[in-house]
Amino acid sequence: MGGDIILRRCNHKSTRQIVEEVVEEACSEKVFWNRRYAPDQTEIDKEIKAQLSEKDIEVTSFNGALLCEPWTVKTNSGDPYKVFTPFWKSLKDQFVPSHPKSIPDLKFAEGIKSEKLEDWELHPTKPDWSGGLDKFWSPGEDGAKEQLKEFFDAGLKSYKTDRDRPDKAATSFLSPYLSFGEISPHFIWMATQSRMDEDGSLEDQGWAFLREIAWRDFSHNLLYQSDCLHKKNWNRRFDAFDWQSNDAYLTAWQKGQTGYPMVDAGMRQLWQTGWMHNRVRMIVGSFLVKHLLIDWRDGEDWFWDTLVDADTANNPASWQWVAGSGADAAPYFRIFNPMSQGEKFDPNGDYVREWVPELKDLPTKYIHEPWEAPKEKLRSANVTLGETYPKPIVQHKAAREAALEAYERTG
């Protein structure tokens, strides 16, 4: 549709100043944008809108990121939902996907000063540590649509059961594309519906998938209502929780060196690819918060820095869910057992073997708890606990009991 992208960094200036400068330089008559939902963001956008309107510039904003705007999904009494299931029912009933609007006839200003993308050095060069990322993702709208098609051809038909299996590629892998707005949930909704129309046997699977897509909306609803979702406990009772600060534990977790194969596999997958399977996110999250009693905000920070799909709503909402401090959160006594989760969702140990290759020759029986392996099995697999692979940094049973006790004190 023509026009150049103008890149400017704020540095010491405010977003408002930058927008005003560009609008002035380009002699713009109209300004359009997609809405954001964190309270501090909506505040800035509101200011900019007011400022520009005063100068008789037409400002129009759109929903580009969500199925429904947060203020439109309400309970019968007009309050926002705090529980996902009724939220989903309500959204499903009222939602009408909107087709892409035709592009208005716009004239673009030319010769507006722009910074160079290369100068931002977003892509690492020396050293280029992003090889793992490049291998897995093709940024952009085309890459997103290609990924959706691949999911329809492969993962969707067994989505309901296999989406929990990190050893299989049964999830959509759309999270980074959604996060950066390279594909919209409206598009996904319509595409999934038409796939279900073509093939009625996919009905259940399709709805299960769309339900997950709706979780993004739910998280954004919480963000919209919240006062700093990534810093403050949704449930303020957790303000009194006695989190332990232990840098050695935190580092071991970040590097995938906890001695629990399922946890380490997840953390290494994250580091190498920028992504982690959803089931494994719960396992590593539960481990950080409950086994290590480390503040969920430290986990949220790390995910924010390392995940390619981290966004301002899902990341904090999900961490608060795991920690138990969130809306509709996990009950305090739900403490994931990394061994049984591994046996259940990575039954052949393929996922662990891929990301923790130093254990790859261990028999499947011991792959999720190498410390239980007899000496000769360890030796023939070239595993020396404490040397080639860490011993568990905490004991599961004791850690579990400590967590239950700590959570009981808070409740």
Partner DNA sequence: TTTTGAGTTGTTCGA
Partner DNA sequence: GTCGAACAACTCAAA
Cis? peptide before 127, omega within 30° of 0: yes
Assess whether 243 carries a catalytic annotation.
yes
- Told to check if 371 binds DNA by CB under 7 A, we report no
**Catalytic residue of the set 215, 234, 275, 302:** 215
Number of chain positions touching DNA (CB under 7 A): 38
| CA-closest candidate to residue 219, choices 100, 123, 310, 111 | 310
Assess whether 278 carries a catalytic annotation.
yes
Candidates 5, 11, 12, 77; binder of DNA (CB under 7 A) is 77
What is the secondary structure of 82-117 as a DSSP string? -SHHHHHHHHHHH----PPPPPP------S-----G
- Told to check if 396 binds DNA by CB under 7 A, we report yes
- Told to check if 181 binds DNA by CB under 7 A, we report no
Assess whether 296 carries a catalytic annotation.
yes
**Catalytic residue of the set 63, 235, 246, 278:** 278
- Told to check if 400 binds DNA by CB under 7 A, we report yes
Quick one: 85 or 384, whose CB is closer to DNA? 85
Candidates 2, 5, 56, 79; binder of DNA (CB under 7 A) is 79
Helix (H, G, I), strand (E, B) or coil at 356: coil
Could you tell me which residues come within 8 angstroms of residue 356 by beta carbon, excluding any fewer than 6 positions away? Answer: 256, 261, 264, 265, 268, 389
**Catalytic residue of the set 88, 319, 321, 355:** 319
Instruction: Tell me the closest approach of the beta carbon of residue 184 to DNA, in angstroms.
Output: 19
- Told to check if 160 binds DNA by CB under 7 A, we report no
Q: What angle do CA 212, 217, 223 make, to 5 degrees?
A: 130
Instruction: Tell me the closest approach of the beta carbon of residue 83 to DNA, in angstroms.
Output: 4
**Catalytic residue of the set 296, 302, 321, 355:** 296
Assess whether 319 carries a catalytic annotation.
yes
Quick one: 164 or 346, whose CB is closer to DNA? 164
- Work out the number of other CB atoms within 10 angstroms of the CB of residue 149: 12
Quick one: 133 or 324, whose CB is closer to DNA? 324
**How far apart are alpha carbons 196 and 185 in whole angstroms?**
16
**How far apart are alpha carbons 332 and 321 in whole angstroms?**
10
Stretch that binds DNA, among 40-48, 79-87, 102-110, 266-274 (CB under 7 A): 79-87
| Beta carbons of 219 and 313 less than 8 angstroms apart | yes
Quick one: 314 or 381, whose CB is closer to DNA? 314
Could you tell me which residues come within 8 angstroms of residue 300 by beta carbon, excluding any fewer than 6 positions away? Answer: 230, 315, 316, 319
Could you tell me which residues come within 8 angstroms of residue 185 by beta carbon, excluding any fewer than 6 positions away? Answer: 65, 66, 67, 178, 213, 216, 217
Q: What angle do CA 365, 369, 370 make, to 5 degrees?
A: 85
Candidates 29, 58, 142, 408; binder of DNA (CB under 7 A) is 408
- Residue 81 CB burial class (10 angstroms; 0-12, 13-18, ≥19): buried
Candidates 37, 215, 319, 366; binder of DNA (CB under 7 A) is 215
Quick one: 150 or 343, whose CB is closer to DNA? 343
- Told to check if 340 binds DNA by CB under 7 A, we report yes
Hey, what are 371's tokens? 């410390």
| Beta carbons of 356 and 261 less than 8 angstroms apart | yes
Residue type, 51: Q
Stretch that binds DNA, among 38-46, 137-145, 326-334, 387-395 (CB under 7 A): 326-334
**How far apart are alpha carbons 334 and 140 in whole angstroms?**
38
**How far apart are alpha carbons 139 and 178 in whole angstroms?**
11
**Catalytic residue of the set 207, 243, 271, 304:** 243
- Told to check if 82 binds DNA by CB under 7 A, we report yes
- Told to check if 344 binds DNA by CB under 7 A, we report yes
| Beta carbons of 36 and 64 less than 8 angstroms apart | no
Stretch that binds DNA, among 98-106, 114-122, 300-308, 394-402 (CB under 7 A): 394-402
Instruction: Tell me the closest approach of the beta carbon of residue 345 to DNA, in angstroms.
Output: 9
Residues from 275 through 314 that contact DNA (CB under 7 A)? 278-279, 282
Residues from 83 through 122 that contact DNA (CB under 7 A)? 83-87, 89-90
- Told to check if 331 binds DNA by CB under 7 A, we report yes
Candidates 48, 66, 183, 330; binder of DNA (CB under 7 A) is 330
Q: Which residues are catalytic?
A: 212, 215, 243, 278, 296, 319
Residues forming the site for DNA (CB under 7 A): 75-77, 79, 81-87, 89-90, 164, 212, 215, 278-279, 282, 318, 321, 328, 330-337, 340-341, 344, 396-397, 400, 408, 411
